[in-house]
Each structure stands twice: as structure tokens, then as C-alpha cells.
Amino acid sequence: IIGSRLLAQGFQSPKYFHSRPSAAGAGYDAAHSGGSNLGPTSEQLRLVRASRAEALRQANGLSDEASLPADLLDASASGLDPDISPAAAVLQIDRIARAREYDSSQRQRLVELVERMIALPQFGLLGEPRVNVLQLNLALDALR
């Protein structure tokens, strides 16, 4: 067993797509599922988001002005959301291509992979488009 498509796990390698941040226990701990309960005016939340933004920009070689998807800055309510937005997946493509030493045609295959893995809202209206990180990373490994 590699993981569950229903629960997030913490992918750390630059060669893989990363999940949303987790506030569940020490991170991605299903026994301690839950959010941080920090509100939008919380100074602690502002500092956590700023730290995550800096780490995300650094890991992905982004400028200080680069826009970042909110789902890569905020943990989900459960801390175990297995999905990220398509924008969050696309943001990570260049890092993965560099880490895997892909040329431009192989990078394009990553773009196409992300596009294929996007799950649309249920019945066309319930929820948002999303990408399951575990399934995306398994498909990424299958590209070889």
C-alpha cells in the first residue's frame, strides 16, 4: 500500500507534487484530524501563511510577487484534504521538471498529465475542479 486517495499525505521530495499544508496533529495525522481553528484576523495565522508562502516561493523558484493559490497556503478544515486546485498543481510543474531533469517536451507531458487528472465538479456544479495528489504522483511515476 502506497497511500490512500481519500487522505492527504506529506510528499516532501521536489520530484513530486505536494499536498496542501496539514494542521492535523504533527501533519497528515488521521488520528488527530482537524484544522487550526485560527480566524482570519489571527496574527499567528498571518505568520504561518507568510512562512508557507516564503517556503513555497523558494522551493518553486518563484518571485516575491508571484501569485500563490490559497490551497497551498491554508490547511483544509480536516487537515487531510487529498486534493489540490489545478492552479496549485500547475504552479509545481517547473519544480518537478527541474528536479527530474526534464527537457521542454517532457515538461509539456507534465502539463498534459495535470490537465488529464483534473476532476470536474460533481454533476457539473457541486464543488470545484480538483486534482488528487496521490493519484497524480502515481501517474507521474508511470510516465517513465
pLDDT in tens, 25-68: 777 888 888 777 788 899 999 999 999 999 999 999 999 999 99
Q: Is 144's pLDDT higher than 80?
A: no
Which residues lie closer than 8 Å to 21 by C-beta, 6 or more apart? 27, 52, 72, 73, 74, 75
Q: Using DSSP, how many helices (H) and how many strands (E) does the chain show?
A: 4, 3
pTM of the entire predicted model:
0.91
**pLDDT of 93:** 98
At residue 23 the predicted structure's pLDDT band, cuts being 50, 70 and 90, is confident
When the pLDDT of each residue in the chain is averaged and rounded to a whole number, the result is 92
